[in-house]
Each structure stands twice: as C-alpha cells, then as structure tokens.
Amino acid sequence: MLKVAAYIAEKGFLPKELVQNEVQWFYTNLGIDDMYFMLEPVDTIANHIMALYGAKIFAFTKNESVLDINLERETDSSAVYIHTSRPGVSTTTGPQVERRIDAKYLDAANAATGAFRLETYRSLGTVSSSMATQLRCYFVEKCNFVKPDPTPEEATDIRLVADKAFLEKATEHTLEVYENIMRQVLQRTGPVIELFEVEGSREKRIVIGYRQQSTRHFFSAMSDLYHYYDLFSTRKYVEQFANGVTIMSLYLNPIPNSKAPPIESSIFQIMKEASLIFCLPTTPLQTFFQTGKLSVQEAIYGYVAWIFSQHFLNRLGGEYATLTNLLDGANSAHVEVLTKIKKRLRSDTFTREYILEIIKLYPDLVKALYINFAMTHYVGQKESSIRPSLSYQRIRTDHVLTDAQLLALIKKTVSNAHEQMVFESFLTFNQHVLKTNFYQPTKVALSFRLDPSFLPAIEYPLKPYGLFLVVGAEFRGFHVRFADVARGGIRMVRSRNAEAYSINLRSLFDENHALASAQHHKNKELPEGGSKGTILLDLASQDKSRVAFEKYVDAMLDLLIAGQTPGIKEKIVDRYGKPEILFFGPDEGTADFMDWASQHARQRGASFWKAFTTGKSQSLGGIPHDIYGMTTRSVHQYVLGTLKKLNIKEEDCTKMQTGGPDGDLCSNEIKISKDKTVGIVDGSGVLYDPVGIDRVELTRLATERKMINHFDVKKLSPQGFRVLYVEEVQTIIESNAAAEFEAIWAEAERTGVPKAIISDLLSSAVVKLSDELQTTTLWDNKALRKIVLEEALPKLLQKQLGLDTILSRVPESYTRAIFGAYLASRFIYKYGTSPSQFAFFTFMNPYFARIGQ
C-alpha cells in the first residue's frame, strides 16, 4: 500500500493531501477481494485508484451521484476487469464484461488446448462516503492442472484434475461437493445442478457442473436469470478440470427492499430454469428477458415458435392452390414454374428477419400464447411438494384463453394480415405439440413431437406418420418418418458461408421430408418404413457436429423413454399416448457417431438400444455394410439380371470400372463379380489390359484395400499398361508452389509489403494476365501454342494419347485457359507484379526462338 501511495504521489495527478485517504479507502473501505492485490502490480493498482478518482471528479462536474467505472487489463495468461455494478441488474449496453469473458475465455474452454478459471466478487463497500456505487471485480487465470492429461482412472480424482491455485484455496467441503458433481457430469450428457444453504444467512449457493464446450454464453446468461428474480451475487466462481468438466458456483442474495418473491421460492425456480438457459443461453429475444418483459420460459418458447414459423408458416395461400389446379402436373414446364413460384413465396414473403421483427412488436401476445402452451404441457405440482413453483403459480394466476379467444386477441392486437399469420402459426404450434421435454428438469436441447396434420396437402401430399423438431444452442433439426416402425439415417448439414446457411435453412424441412419419403420407398421390402433426420449446424457452430449430434439424440430420447428419476428425468405430458421407437442410421457427417448413440441409449435405459442404430461396430452387434458388401450385392443383382435377359454369360462380359480396389463399393464389386475387367481408373492412375486384368492380383488389392499403383505390372499382358499420373501431378503442384513462394519472397524483400498482401497481388496479376493472353493473337500462333501446351500438360498424358488427341477431345475454351494460365503464372512469378514494358518480350523470346520466329 505504501508503494502504491508513493507511486501516485510521484505522478502528481492527485493533490498530495488526498493521496493517503484515496489509497486507504481503496484498500480497506471499498471491500475489493484480496486476490486483486495479490495479482496486480503496483503501477496497475495505482492507475486504477487514479482512474477512480478521476471518475469521481467527472461525476461531480456533471452533478451525477453514480459513477461509471470500467477498468481492465488483459495478458495472454490472465485478465482483470473492474466495473460499476448495480446489484440485480443486467446491463444491455456498455462493456458487457460477462459476455466478453464468456466469448473470450469460457466458451472455448478445452482442457487439452487451454482453459481459464474465473473468480468474481462484488465490493463490500462503496467507491466513496458520498456515493453508493459498488464495483464488481473479475479475475481470469489460465489453468495449471496437476495432471493435464489424466487417465480414465485419474479422471474422477479432483486432486489430480483440478487447477493448482484452486486446490490451494478450496476447503475440504468444497472439494467434496465439486468431486461429487464432477463425477455425475462424467456420467451424464446434460448439466448437474445442486443447491446448498449458506449457514447463518439467507444466502444460497447454486453449483452447476457441465461438460466443456457443451453450451455457450452460459455464465452471462445465468446472471440474467437470477437478476430476473431480483437476486444478486456476492461472488461467483468458474473452475475448469483436466477431465473436460466445468463447474460454476454462484452465491445469491435477495435485493434489499425488493417486492420480488422470497429467495426461498425463487431459488428453486432458478434451478429449474437453469436447464433451459443451458439449452439456449442466448436467443434473439434475450433483451426482452434481460429487461423483464418476458420470463426465460416465455422468451425461449417465443424463440422455438419463431423457428417453427420459419419452416411452416403457410405462405402460399389459396391462389397457389387454384393455380396448381389450373396447370398440368404432368407437364415438366408447368411443374418447374410452380416450384419456382413456391420457393419465391416461401422465402421472399416471410423471411426469418421479418418474422422476428413482428414477434418483437408484441411481447404480450408471446406471453398469452406461452400460457396456452404451458397449460397443456406443464406437469402439475405433486402433492408432496412443499410449495408450488413460481412458474406454476404464474400459470394459475394468469388468465388462460381458449384457442378461439386467442385468435380473437391476435386479430384485435396486430396491425395487418402478415402479423396475424405469424402469431396464428404460434397457435398452430401449440395445437400440434403432442409431447415435449421443455419442462424436464435436466436436458441438453429442446425436443417436440408434433402431429404432422398441420402440413398442407398441397405442399406435402404424402403425409408423414411422425414429426419431431429439435432445437439446441448449436443447431436445429427435424426427424420425419412415414411409418410407425421406420429407419433412416441422420444427416449433418453444414454451410460454407452465410449465403449457404440461408439456403440450407430455407430448404431444411423440405429436404428432410423428401429424403424420408425416398427412404420409405427404398425400404419397400423391409418391415421398417422410411425415416430421415437432419441437423442443421448454426453458422457459428460448424465445428460442433459431434456436440450437436449428441444433443439431438439425447433430446429425442427424452421423448421416447419415460422419465422415472425425480429432479433429473421426470414424466412428461404425453398427448400421443402410445410408446414410440425410432431407429437411426449413418448418413452424411454422422457415420462415426453410431456407436455412441447406441451406447447412450443403453445408458439411458432404452430397451431398444441394440437396434437403435445401424452402422455401429461389430462388437456392438452391427453388420458393417462395407465388409459384407450389402450395397454392392444389391446393385450387382441388376447387372446379373440384365446379362441374363440378354443371354450373356458374366464371364464373357468386359467391364470398365471407375473407382479402385481401395474403395468400399468397388472392392466388393471386384470380389463378387466374374466378368472380364479390362480397365480401372482410381485416384492413383489408370490400369488397362484388353485381355482382362489378372483377377487374382486384382482380388489381392481389393482384399488389402489398395490402389492400382500397388498392382504387379508383371501380371499384365503385352497389350496392357498402367499409367500413374499422380506423381507427375504432385511434381507440377510442387513446382508451382515453389515458384510462387520465390516470387512472394522476392516481392516482399523489394517492396516491404506484407507477404499476405503480396500473395493476393500476385494472384490477381496472374488471373488478369491469363484472361488477356487467352484473347490475344499469341493463341493463333499454332507453333507457339503447341510448344506451350507441351510444357503445360502432364508428360504421361501426352505419351499415352498424344497432344493432337488431347486437343481433339478437350474443348478449346479449356485449352485456351491452360495456355493463358501457364504463361501468365510463369511470367508473373519471374518478373513480379510490376514488370517493365519490355519484360514480357524478354520472357517470350526463348519460345519464339524455338519456333524460328
């Protein structure tokens, strides 16, 4: 403290007679946690005291009684934030410190690559005797685990997987609590939430454990949640563990003189709603929740109904139906026009942004529609309950409207037909939800079993048997089936950019419906009908396919397995009234997840876990289709059938095969076929023998799953050959890359421009020159053209076919492009982006000399 006072006095910004008083107040009266003074150097503490004094002077000149303090310091391994904090109030403007900490440190926590722990405290005192402003301090530190890479046996021992600083400060009671929660997290998919009393006070401690990277913005969203119930925190902790577990601890108190329900009631509501926050920590309706206009349940309901509206709002109208009847469905031109009109009507009339704008105009309608939803699906209080939950009390005290009354209220409230259609789609959603996990105590994503009867026949003439909607923090997804017993794959839908995401989103359900319908027809000979599931990853979650799949499966199981564990998985309202079983299979992006899904269903107690997924490992009872050639055998029957009809013996038939003996389908085709295979093209080259490729050698490659570059050429007839063009292509790629590197390095040395910029300039120059060269008279010079193309094209290709044959087979536009790109790249790489006016003449001289010009 003395060093800090000396530092401030030396700087001279504070009057000398006030230095000691300001330093003393900062250290003792303000009530900042001791950890701050342990972590921060003298100059940082002094600067913060001077900043605080300056803020008080500024507030005095503005005649303000409240300070606005925002101090921060960030390094690679730690961060400190100090800012003004009103108890129990979420800030929607300004620095948004907690959201920043979420995004920068907590959301990306990964025990293997780096994780940060957090401690935050509210100051016990005020910034001065004349101002009631309190501060909140946040301390972020990079974790230093005892065992950074624990074995499975070590992973459940908190003293081995915890951060060293945490172990130094934690009490035996805290270690016991955390270890118990940590072990539960390792056994579950979702969060573990527990409540503890703080002896001698009304303060409550909520401890939440969950897997790292299984949610986003959760820390800041929990603050919004307890603020909604007029609670504030004195201290909060987020601890990371080397086994991939995160544990958050919140110490909560009621705001003095608040009219809110007692903390003894609201704390249980927070525990119930924490699982909702975990599923969807942030939504576009978050500000309505932060400002108290909507509860967390109402805001998340509004978000889900918004998603439903995006996909199912009936936007075609009666005019489209009339037009459909007038046009000929068998006429392809008419069908194409109808399809384009349908896409335009569904995407342009009601964009997701437009629907959201409408929803935000009428939060009171969202409230009324939520009550309608809740009255059906909220499970009533058990007789053994000590007191009704706050949400149950709200439902019972609010006036509940019938569907007809809700329709009348919607018409009375909104301003136009579009707004009416949006909120009528909310009511459609309510009417067709048969069961949901919305009110399950623990969950990782929200799932809804829908009655598909709302789907308009004009758009979906083939009505699904069952329809599920699943919404998670990283994705949205559907599952459609056309029979009670049905099987089909689960497809992961990724998007390269924002435009691709918008296209994928608009077509998600239509594609899912079409895929399920196609699967239903494929399964015509099987006892199982067809189904399909889709998972559309949010644009910011393209790397979260595994997380999204696990949440999708777990949320679906919530609706398939009756809950029997109070406080974890309880019984839900089931308007469907019959048991359901779904069967999943691998599809794009999910083939590696089938083992997990089967085992997770087993862990959840599903009686059907063995049959829950196809495509799983043999050790789990799966039949690997690639090993046993299931697809190949099916297709091969068509070949045999065709040959039989034409009276041709398979042994006499010659075959050219695209795809080598290393692949699933083609290796099995080689094993089961008896034809005379004369040619194979794969990733390594071309194998050809007009008398038939040696079947024994070919079978060896198929068994070992090797490309034709491993074929023993001694087994070829005199007329046979093998062309391995991969090595030459690799040489060309390496040569181009080396030339570009030298050009970038030379240009950077010459100009001082950053190499990344040089790379773009070189590329632009090559493209521009290539386009110009393709249209100049140089192309018309046949002798020059021949020399350039001989250099540019792979030598093996020319050796086997000859240049003239290549030119006769390849379109001129393509050979022009080869000509231009080859000359342009070599010239730019040699002379740079700013060559002299004579450079190109010098570059072309050797070519003209070779053709005698």
Among all residues, which ones are annotated catalytic? 532
For residue 725, give every residue at least 6 positions away whose Cβ sits within 8 Å of its Cβ, in sequence order, or none.
685, 686, 794, 796, 797
CA–CA separation, 103 vs 22, rounded Å? 34
CA distances from 156 to 161, 184, 271 (A): 8, 10, 25
The secondary structure of residue 216, as a DSSP letter, is S
Token duo for residue 500: 């691709």
CA–CA separation, 644 vs 655, rounded Å? 16
Q: Which of 726, 743, 730 is nearest to 825 (CA)?
A: 743
CA distances from 261 to 202, 250, 268, 329, 385 (A): 13, 19, 11, 62, 18
Residue linked to tokens 């003074």: 37
CA–CA separation, 245 vs 443, rounded Å? 17
Burial of 259 (0-12, 13-18, 19+ CB in 10 A): exposed
Contact (CB, 8 A) for 204 and 252: yes
CA–CA separation, 759 vs 744, rounded Å? 6
Burial 202-229 (b: 16+ CB within 10 A, else e): ebbbbbbbbbbbbbbbbbbbbbbbbbbb
* Secondary structure of 16-45 as H, E, C letters: HHHHHHHHHHHHHHCCCCHHHHHHCCHHHH
CA–CA separation, 685 vs 575, rounded Å? 60
- Number of neighbours of residue 770 by Cβ within 10 angstroms: 21
Q: Output the CA torsion 556→191→187→533 (10° steps).
A: 20
Q: Which of 425, 471, 432, 442 is nearest to 575 (CA)?
A: 432
The number of angstroms, rounded, from the C-alpha of 647 to the middle of its chain's C-alpha atoms is 55
Using the Cα atoms of residue 214, residue 215, residue 220 and residue 225 in order, give the sign of their dihedral.
Answer: negative
Using the Cα atoms of residue 286, residue 288, residue 290 and residue 294 in order, give the sign of their dihedral.
Answer: negative
CA–CA separation, 709 vs 729, rounded Å? 14
Contact (CB, 8 A) for 460 and 537: no
CA distances from 228 to 97, 120, 231, 291 (A): 18, 20, 7, 8
Side-chain-facing half-sphere of 83: CA atoms under 13 Å: 17
* Strand ordering across the sheet containing 475-481: 433-436, 446-450, 466-471, 475-481, 529-537, 486-493, 583-586
For residue 231, give every residue at least 6 positions away whose Cβ sits within 8 Å of its Cβ, in sequence order, or none.
88, 252, 253, 254, 255, 260, 263, 266, 267, 270
CA–CA separation, 333 vs 348, rounded Å? 22
Contact (CB, 8 A) for 112 and 213: no
Q: Which of 723, 640, 663, 729 is nearest to 689 (CA)?
A: 723
CA–CA separation, 701 vs 427, rounded Å? 61
For residue 660, give every residue at least 6 positions away whose Cβ sits within 8 Å of its Cβ, in sequence order, or none.
666, 680, 681, 682, 683, 684, 701, 707, 708
